[in-house]
């Protein structure tokens, strides 16, 4: 199972929110590049970079942070947040992202999203942000009536293979990930490449997610709060 650290960006700074609440923001580093270089130094090869300003505003904002990390590290960057138009997705790829995570658009504008699946293929990740098994969009500010299972089923039929799923109720709380949710998803869609996100608080969480069959796991606040050390991450990846 691949470990993918998350760097969430507001105003060009590395931050974390609690349960997607923009009013519950903690700044961890003024310079996200420093954080990315530290991850790279222990053997991390992939990074999840989230433009929280972009997610809230509905357009890509922090592309200069993306460019800085992409040009000064060898990390494979998965970028999400605010990708709504053809210009947005081209900006993301032009400034150095290897993958694009898209959630809101896959709900709000299915024809455009499905056209991107055909055009960009493996460079596309489906972002499934979940609250009580319903899809949330717009930087988690709006919960829809769309079931996570219906959402995945429809997109799998269009050719999506990789899904990045965050349980908002767990995110930033350091109380453990949504094991039952991920088990249910993998039981219903056994061929799914599932990246789990939200709630990881200690090394045992990573072991459990690996054991149930997740392809990758996003780790954020647990690293920044010192719950999982860089040395532990390094040993887990060995």
Q: What is the DSSP string of the chain?
A: -EEEEEEEEETTEEEEEETTEEEEEEEEES-HHHHHHHHHHTT--EEEEEEHHHHHHTS---HHHHHHHHHH---EEEEES---SHHHHHHHHHTT-SEEEE-HHHHH-HHHHHHHHHHHGGGEEEEEEEETTEEEETTTTEEEEEEHHHHHHHHHHTT--EEEEEETTTTTS-S---HHHHHHHHHH-TT-EEEEES---SHHHHHHHHHHT-SEEEE-HHHHTTSS-HHHHHHHH-
d(CA 99, CA 156): 18
Q: Which positions are annotated as active-site residues?
A: 8, 129
Using only C-alpha atoms, what is the Rg of the chain? Answer: 16
CA torsion sign, 28 to 233 to 194 to 71? positive
């Amino acid at each position: 199972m691949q470990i993918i650290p998350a760097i969430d960006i507001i105003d060009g700074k590395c931050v974390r929110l609690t349960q997607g609440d923009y009013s519950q923001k903690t700044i961890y580093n003024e310079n996200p590049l420093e954080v990315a270089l530290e991850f790279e130094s222990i053997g991390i090869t992939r990074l999840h970079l989230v433009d929280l300003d972009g997610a809230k505003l509905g357009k890509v904002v922090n592309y200069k942070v993306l460019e800085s990390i992409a040009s000064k590290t060898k990390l494979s960057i998965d970028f999400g947040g605010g990708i709504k138009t053809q210009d947005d997705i081209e900006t993301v790829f032009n400034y150095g992202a290897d993958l694009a995570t898209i959630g809101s658009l896959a709900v709000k504008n299915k024809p455009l999203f499905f056209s991107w699946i055909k055009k960009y293929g493996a460079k596309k990740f489906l972002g499934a942000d979940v609250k009580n098994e319903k899809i949330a969009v717009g930087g988690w500010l709006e919960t829809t009536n769309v079931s996570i299972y219906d959402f995945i089923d429809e997109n799998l039929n269009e050719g999506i293979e990789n899904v990045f799923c965050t349980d908002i109720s767990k995110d930033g709380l350091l109380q453990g990930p949504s094991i039952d949710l991920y088990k249910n998803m993998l039981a219903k869609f056994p061929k799914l490449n599932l990246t789990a996100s939200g709630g990881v608080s200690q090394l045992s969480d990573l072991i459990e997610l690996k054991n149930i069959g997740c392809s990758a796991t996003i780790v954020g606040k647990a690293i920044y709060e010192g719950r999982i050390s860089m040395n532990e991450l390094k040993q887990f990846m060995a």
